[in-house]
Amino acid sequence: RQGRAEVTADGSVTNRAAPPRHRIRLQPLDAQVVVITGASSGIGRATALRAAARGARLVLAARDRLGLE
């Protein structure tokens, strides 16, 4: 049985079914490079715009270059 992943108040990610030693501490978004596929439309575009607004460096992939401009 798999548990759900949760983000805790301190920014770490934990799986409720996993022992506490499996917590992962995520870096702030402005310290990450984020790869987004489908970045020219829909959820991919919205994700790219939000990540960029929060300072992430982005690698974008899409079928249509026009949608990325």
Q: pLDDT in tens for each of the 69 residues of the chain?
A: 455 667 777 767 766 665 666 667 888 889 999 999 999 999 999 999 999 999 999 999 999 888 888
Q: What pLDDT does residue 9 have?
A: 73
CA distance 24 to 60: 25
> Helix or strand or coil: residue 57?
strand
Q: What pLDDT does residue 14 have?
A: 67
Q: What pLDDT does residue 1 have?
A: 45
Cβ neighbours, 10 Å, residue 65: 9
Q: What pLDDT does residue 8 have?
A: 74
Q: What pLDDT does residue 44 have?
A: 94
